[in-house]
Each structure stands twice: as structure tokens, then as C-alpha cells.
Amino acid sequence: MQNLKRILERIDGCGYKDYKELRGKYEWQDYTLFIDVVQGDPFASPSRVRVRVPQIRANFPPGIFNSSPRLIALSDWITRKFGEAIKLHCKGPRGTGGSGLIEIVTPGQEILQRSSIIINSDFVEARFFIGLPAYGRRISGRTAYEMFFEEIPKIVEASLFMKNLDRSEITEYVDFLEGVEFIRSSLTSHRLVAFICDNSILPRRSGIDERPMKHAVPFKSPESLRVNFATPHHGDISGMGIPEGITLIVGGGYHGKSTLLRAIERGVYPHIPGDGREWAITVEDAFKVRAEDGRGIEKVDISPFIQTLPMGMSTRCFSTPDASGSTSQAANIIEAIEAGAKLLLIDEDTSATNFMIRDRRMQQLVSKDKEPITPFVDQARNLYNDLGVSTILVMGGSGDYLDVADNVISLETYIPHEVTQRAREVAKENPTNRVREGGSKFALPTPRAPLPKSFNLRSGKIKVRGTHTLLFGRSTIDLSYVEQLIDSGQTRAIGDAIYYLALHYFDGKRGLKKSLDLLYEEFKFRGLGLLSKIPKGDYALPRKLELASAINRLRTLRVNLCA
């Protein structure tokens, strides 16, 4: 502490690079300050700083974080409180560039496993950023002193000591997440893939505002699909359960079909209380699939959907730098299944039409021997029967899917109605007379083993630009259509995870899913910190499915097919 004061006094007014002397460890009375990375310029990325409070002083009761959901919830809650304390006690920008700023990651509506707060039986640690202050490129030692000795102590005092926090509020928060994860873990035993609680608010305020829409119609389950869960802290939670199998969501335009699908899509993550979707819960291995013209594909067996292409091009080991709508959607499904997806979420609005349907008239006009595409309608049943992969599909334009649906949900002004029986009657009264195409079986995809040479970083670095763009060496990975990727912290973790996998697991022999499984086992024991030698507070844990999606979209990817 005194040493930090002396350094700040000595370098006051010096050139900015003298801030490098600050790197190190400093003891306060109640905590330890670590300055891990010092920025080289006031316009550069801010410096990385940590504060560690021993549990003997922080005094968070073990029962509050004695399970994975409770630990994630508590870390999220403290991250938000730390951010609130920054707004209250930090005076904000002072000087050149980002001078004078104190920042911690800002969580959104979802509760994610992050590296911003580390909690265990020994300590509580906050990882955050500071913009070391300068005027021009001259160090402002007095402002830095104010930040380190006045502002940060107040922020730490307000957020990292149990005595200054509302225990009942914390308990309610961690109990809530434990309840959500209890329901998620119960879905499979109830043969369900998703659950939406009564009175949920599913519409969002806008496409760029994920908060709940004001005055929206509350969700209400049809009685025929109603299920109850006896949660450990909230008693019975009642709502709509969507069974395994093939489920159609139908209805007129603007009645809430895509809104419901989006809530199911985002239900793979827990949401904060008050979000409106906090009890909208989906199995963790659900994946949103769409067409993605122009993406690269590396040795994917898309033959269940697309047979031999013109000019004799095989689709059993299909590669292209520029996929069409149908080939990209086929590859997206096969890659998702390879990575472990058990529920596919599809909206006709973002699908390739020729991939989804081929009606009787078109079958008669263009014979099957001249049409390589087997539409999804003819493979959805095989996916479920053979691989246990369910589908939830928003469909408003083709009645062909009524023949294969197990469940049909109709949306009317955002209220769901179960119309499965009526759909079967309509299908019987109005037969399509189409001929089913494709085979009667759906085999698991052949595992692909990434080659280490695919991940050469000698000519570049790993950088993140927002949530959906990742620079890996000289390659740009476009994640715009990976719709369940929701946080730039996940993207940052994906970039470093790809590099870690390349160093430790990708050997050209081990399949992609096996490598991902091994990595996530490591995460359980070592946390996200294993991805970097420098402690980083801006990681958020991605799902395996999003990590696999990023790897599959790396244009330098090369794989061997596993025997």
C-alpha cells in the first residue's frame, strides 16, 4: 500500500510508459490489490486489476455458494453489485482517452458463468479494469491516487463484504437459480424439451432491447400441455411443457410464433428475476438452425439431406468455401448433431425453402432422380426415432408438416392453444398425396478430428469485435448466424478455447466432440482461468454447441474423418 503511494508520487507527471512500474501486488488492511496488466497508452485497452478479500473478512456463508448453480448466481449477483458501486463511487472519465474509468463486465438479462468474480472457501476476488489517468501522455499521479485510495476502497467495501450486503436478497437470488436448474435437470425425466411458466412475459421491447415489453400479454398454458414442477424453494411452478418429438408452432402473422421460439431458444440460459422469461427453460443441448449462405464447410456428410450433386460431386464428405442456403442448413444440422445437440429449433423465415419442403406438384414436375435434396420434412421423424433428436419448428406456410408432427401449438395473440387433434383431422381431410423421399434411417455423423495445422496463430492474434466477430490469426470467424451466442465474453472465451484445444487436444485423431468433452471437464475443476496465463475477468462460459460452431466456421479448418 505504502509502496504504491511512493510509486505514484515518483511518476506523477512522467511519461505514460512509467506506469509499468505499478505492476505487482499490494496489501491493504482488508484486501490485496493485484495490478496484472498495465496499459501502454491512455487510448489502449484499460489495465487489468484484481482485488482479493480473504473469506475470513468477506464472510460469505458457505451455504450460499455450495452448489454450481448457487455459485454462478452469487458471482453474477456480486458482479452486478460491483458495477453499481462503480457508478456510485467512481467519478468517471478524467483526462485523455479512457483515463479515470473503472469498469467491470456488464451482465445482460442472462445469468452466465463468468470470470469477473471468483468465490471459494478462501477468498472472494473481483477482476476489473481501470483506465490509468493521464493528461496528454503525462501521468496524473494525483488522479490515480484518488482512484486507488479513495474510489476502489469504497467500491470494494460496498460489494465484497457480506456485512454490507442484503443477505435475504442474495439468498433469494441463489435460491432462484437453483430452482431454474432443478426444472432444467427434470425436463428429460418428464420427456420434455422445454417449459414455459404461466404469466411469463415473452415479447421483448425491441430487437436491440432485451428487457420485457411493457403491457405484453402474459403467457398461459393450454390445459392439455400443462405440467407442474415442485421446486425446492418456490413450491409448485405450473406452465406449458413441450414434449419430445416433433412440435409445430403455427398461427397467423404477428401472433407470436417467432417470439415463442425465441424464448425457447434463449431458454438454454437462465434469466434474471423480472426478465419475464426467468421460468422459460429449455434443455441445455438445444440448437437454433438456419440457412447460412456463403459459409465454409469442411468434410461434412450432408448426404441424409442432399445426395450426389450435379457433375458427380459426392456429399458424404462435402466441402465448400461458399455454401448455398440448402447445403449450409444441412451442414448446420449435421454439425450440431455431431457436437451433441438433442433439440433443433427452426423458423421457416430463416430457412432455405427448398430444404424444408417439396410438395406433390413439384415432385411430379421434377422427378426425384433430378432433385438431390431430401427435404427436412422427410427426415425429421428419422432424426427423432433413430437419434433421439427432437425438433421445434415455426411453420406458417406449409401444411406438409402436419403429417409428421407429434404436437401442434397454435398462437393467437400470443396465447398458445394445443391443436394437435384438429391438425390430424385437417391432414386426413386434405391429403397432400406427396411421396415420402429419403431413406428410413438416420445414422450418427462420422466424427471429424480437427488437424492442429488449422489453428496457426503465427501470423496474427485472437481478437474479439463485439459478440459475433472473432479474429483468429488472419482468419475472421463470422458468428452472425450463431443465434444463441449472446455475450462478447463468450466470444472471447471461444477464441482462447480454440487455441487451448489446438495445443492440448486437437491431434487429427480425436473427434471434435470428444475434445470438447475433455475441455469442459477441465472447466469444471479449473474454471475459465485455464484459458489464460493472465487472470482475466471478461470471460463468459460458452456452450459446447457455440464453441463447435465457431470451429466449424474457421475457414482454415481441416479435419480427418475418424474411423
Taking only the tens place, the pLDDT of each residue in 476-512 is 999 999 999 999 999 999 999 999 999 999 999 999 9
| Rounded Cα distance, 217 and 201, in Å | 7
Query: Could you tell me what percent of the chain has a pLDDT over 70?
Result: 100
What's the confidence (pLDDT) of residue 90? 96
Strand 559-561 relative to strand 448-450: parallel, antiparallel, unpaired? antiparallel
Give the pLDDT band (50/70/90) at residue 2.
Answer: confident
CB 250 within 8 A of CB 408: yes
CA 92 from chain centre, in angstroms, equals 31
3 state SS of 209: strand
What the chain holds in terms of domains, given with CATH numbers, is 2-165 (no CATH), 193-417 (3.40.50), 448-561 (no CATH)
For residue 447, which phi and psi values (nearest 5 degrees)? -60, 145
> ∠ CA(56), CA(130), CA(12), 5° rounding?
105
pLDDT bracket for residue 459 (50, 70, 90): low
Mean pLDDT of 276-285: 98
Residues paired with residue 53 on neighbouring β-strands, in sequence order: 124
The better pLDDT of the pair 137, 497 is held by 497
pLDDT digits (tens, 9 = 90+) for 226-257: 999 999 999 999 999 999 999 999 999 889 99
pLDDT of residue 1: 72
Count each helix (H run) and each strand (E run) in the chain, helices first: 15, 27
- d(CA 270, CA 195) in angstroms, rounded, equals 12
Count of other CB atoms within 10 angstroms of residue 54? 13
| Residue 432, SS3 per DSSP | coil
Kind and range of the H or E run holding 47: strand 47-54
Query: CB neighbours of 339 closer than 8 A, spacing ≥ 6?
Result: 287, 512, 513, 516, 544, 545, 548, 549
| CA atoms 422, 428, 434, 439: torsion sign | positive
> Judging by DSSP bridges, how do beta strands 235-243 and 226-231 pair with one another?
antiparallel
With bands split at pLDDT 50, 70 and 90, how would you rate the model's confidence at 207? Answer: confident
Q: Report whether pLDDT(312) > 80.
A: no
Q: What are phi and psi of 251, to 5 degrees?
A: 140, 170
User: Which tens digits make up the pLDDT trace of 400-421?
Assistant: 999 999 999 999 999 999 999 9
Structural Rg of the chain based on CA atoms: 26
DSSP symbol at 114:
B
The HSE-up count of residue 55 (CA atoms within 13 Å, CB side) is 11
Note the pLDDT of residue 243. 98
Max mean pLDDT among 1-5, 433-437, 452-456, 549-553 falls in 549-553
CA 67 to the chain's CA centroid: 21
Rounded to an integer, the average pLDDT of 320-326 is 96
Confidence of residue 438 (pLDDT cuts 50, 70, 90): confident
Check whether 310 has a pLDDT greater than 80: no
String of DSSP letters for 213-272: PTTPPPP---GGGEEEEEETTTEEEEEEEEESSEEEEEESTTSSHHHHHHHHHHTTS-B-
Tens-place pLDDT, residues 61-85: 999 999 999 999 999 999 999 999 9
Partner residues linked to 50 by β-bridges: 34, 127
In percent, how much of the chain has pLDDT > 90? 90
Asked whether 281 and 180 are in contact (CB, 8 A), the reply is yes
pLDDT category at 448 given cuts 50, 70, 90 is very high
Neighbours of 123 (CB within 10 A): 19
Is residue 37 within 8 Å of 11, Cβ to Cβ?
no
515-562: pLDDT as tens digits: 999 999 999 999 999 999 999 999 999 999 999 999 999 999 999 998
Which pLDDT band, with edges at 50, 70 and 90, does 149 fall under? very high
Q: Is the pLDDT of residue 342 over 70?
A: yes
Mean pLDDT, all residues of the chain: 95
Is residue 460 predicted with pLDDT exceeding 90? no
Q: Name the residue among 260, 291, 303, 402 with its Cα closest to residue 353.
A: 291
Output the DSSP codes for 490-547: HHHHHHHHHHHHHHHT--SSS-HHHHHHHHHHHHHHH-GGGG-SS--S--BPPPHHHH
Q: Quickly tell me which residue has 457455440 as its cell.
A: 546
